[in-house]
Amino acid sequence: MNITISDEAITWFQQELDLKKDGFVRFFAKYGGASPVQQGFSLGMSKEEPEGDIGAKTLINGITYYVLDKDLWYFDGHNLSVGYNANVDEPEYKYTK
């Protein structure tokens, strides 16, 4: 699984989460919401250090964006592409195989 993040989304994460070099952003499956890859679940994110094995990650500007191994099921073999939606001022997630 690959994780890609647009420059605009990187800026949003850094500002909204007050991220510093050596920081972490976790993407995880959460119950509820809507998703094109898992019915009844959606993608959550939080600013937290990994507690467990990392299944996928990308390092950008000294910040690690990651998914724990135990959450890889959610992606069902898809890659995660994180963009930014200026209309609602928040990240936008796309899943590709």
Rounded Cα distance, 64 and 46, in Å: 12
CA angle 75, 79, 33 (to 5 degrees): 40
Over the stretch 51-77, which tens digit does the pLDDT of each residue have? 999 999 999 999 999 999 999 999 999
Instruction: Report which of 64, 85, 78 is spatially closest to residue 36, judged by C-alpha positions.
Output: 78
Pairing of strands 79-85, 90-96: antiparallel
Q: Does 33 or 53 have the greater pLDDT score?
A: 53
Q: Can you give the pLDDT at residue 11?
A: 95
Q: Can you give the pLDDT at residue 94?
A: 96
Q: What is the pTM of this model?
A: 0.93
Name the β-bridge partners of 66: 26, 57
Q: Work out the percent of the chain whose per-residue pLDDT is above 90.
A: 87
Write down the residue that tokens 């509820």 correspond to: 32
Q: Where are the domains of the chain?
A: 3-96
Fold held by 3-96: Hypothetical Protein Aq_1857; Chain: A; (2.60.300)
